[in-house]
Amino acid sequence: MWRHAAARRSAQIRRLLSTSAPSAGAGSAVRGPCIVHKRGTDILHDPWYNKDTAFPLTERDRLGLRGLLPPRVMSFEQQYERFINSYHSLEHNTQGEPDSVVSLAKWRILNRLHDRNETLYYRVLIDNIKDFAPIIYTPTVGLVCENYSGLFRRPRGMYFSAKDKGEMMSMIYNWPAEKVDMIVVTDGSRILGLGDLGVQGIGIPIGKLDVYVAAAGINPQKVLPIMLDVGTNNEELLEDKLYLGLRQPRLEGEEYLAVVDEFMEAVHARWPKAIVQVCVCRSHTLVAKSMMLHC
């Protein structure tokens, strides 16, 4: 039954993604073209608006893109086919390699697409969710989290830390979307049986939300993965020069709750109707207490 429901929701979101990219604050459906205020390379560097070589000549002229792209205009379907062919070539070229190497290589090619063209990325996931779910989420996401600091290329989602105490209410407005329907947050303390991975646990909220978008039809522009960094007790990470999180022991008890309280208050102030899923947090009782106060 869930497969039929997922298929219906996937068809709905496919129609959404086949239109022009949504603008910030758009409704749950996009009716006709949206107004794009960006121009030139700003569009090409924004994965929400970037269509790569699919921009027709009229849009290239109107948006200041002529000369910034190869001259051939490729359709969305041609781009889709090109990516799938590249993915299959990767599978062929990595035959015989260790499973971990192959899985990370597959994750990288999907992540590069995610960084460049989100419309095409979600179309690929929706049409191939059975094949790609193990890559964007378990089991591959565990490998990604373990190696996150070394794999990091560009930020995705938001990061709140113990060092931001007193600033979270203003920080929450740095997120560009006017409306957020669903938030997945973690403190990185218990990642898929791998233990305390600190800030590197951000891969869990990102992966969960991608699955929710592709399989459940949630609007991808209205989701937000969040890392709540309160330190880590993982000595290996604390000694790693590439580690991107706070280099301090993990907060406990009332200190931890104070950070969670401020975070939840900020989220509730801006998006009072948003669903907040707390995953793999060490102090479930404290988090539940805070959510009851603010939700």
Q: Are residues 118 and 174 in the same domain?
A: no
Q: Strand, helix or coil at 258?
A: helix
Burial class (CB in 10 A: 0-12, 13-18, 19+), 235: exposed
Please check whether residue 174 lies inside any domain of the structure. yes
pLDDT of 283: 55
Catalytic-role residue among 148, 208, 212, 222: 208
| pLDDT score recorded for residue 64 | 97
Co-location of 275 and 171 in the same domain: yes
Q: Give the domain range for residue 183.
A: 148-294
Q: Judge if 163 and 263 occupy the same domain.
A: yes
pLDDT given at position 31: 55
Number of compact structural domains in the chain = 2
In terms of domains, do 155 and 289 share one? yes
pLDDT at 14: 53
CATH, residue 100:
1.20.1370.30
Residue 215 lies in a domain: yes
Query: Same domain, yes or no, for 178 and 221?
Result: yes
Q: Is residue 2 part of a domain?
A: no
The answer to whether residue 127 is domain-embedded is: yes
Please give the pLDDT value at position 15. Answer: 52
Last-in-domain residue among 94, 112, 136: 136
Which parts are annotated binding residues?
190
- Asked whether residue 252 falls in the same domain as residue 163, the answer is yes
Q: What is the DSSP letter of 159?
A: E
**What is the four-CA torsion angle of 35, 268, 230, 283, rounded to 10 degrees?**
-130
Residues of the chain with pLDDT under 50: 1-3, 5-6, 13, 16-30, 286
CA distances from 21 to 26, 47, 48, 94, 137 (A): 10, 9, 6, 34, 25
In a domain, 22, yes or no: no
Considering the domain boundaries, does residue 113 fall inside one? Answer: yes
The radius of gyration of the chain from alpha carbons, rounded to an integer in Å, stands at 20
One domain, residues 159 and 63: no
Q: Is 137 a catalytic residue?
A: yes
Q: Are residues 81 and 201 in the same domain?
A: no
Q: Known binding site for (S)-malate: residues?
A: 190
Domain boundary among 77, 111, 136: 136
Same domain, 127 and 240: no
Kindly state whether residues 174 and 267 are assigned to the same domain.
yes
Predicted confidence at residue 292, as pLDDT, reads 53
Beta bridge partners of 149: none
Residue 239: the pLDDT is 96
| Predicted model pTM | 0.84
Regarding whether 125 and 263 lie in a shared domain, the answer is no
- Asked whether 48 and 25 are in contact (CB, 8 A), the reply is no
Q: Which of 121, 137, 243, 256 is catalytic?
A: 137
Active site residue 208: yes
Examine residue 170 and state whether it is found in any structural domain, yes or no: yes
CATH number at residue 267: 3.40.50.10380
Going by C-alpha positions, the residue among 144, 268, 248, 270 that lies closest to residue 206 is 144
Please report the pLDDT score of residue 11 as a whole number: 56
> Are 103 and 132 contained in the same domain?
yes
- Asked if residue 18 is part of any domain, the answer here is no
- Which residue has tokens 């104070």? 258
Q: Which of 136, 156, 171 is the last residue of a domain?
A: 136
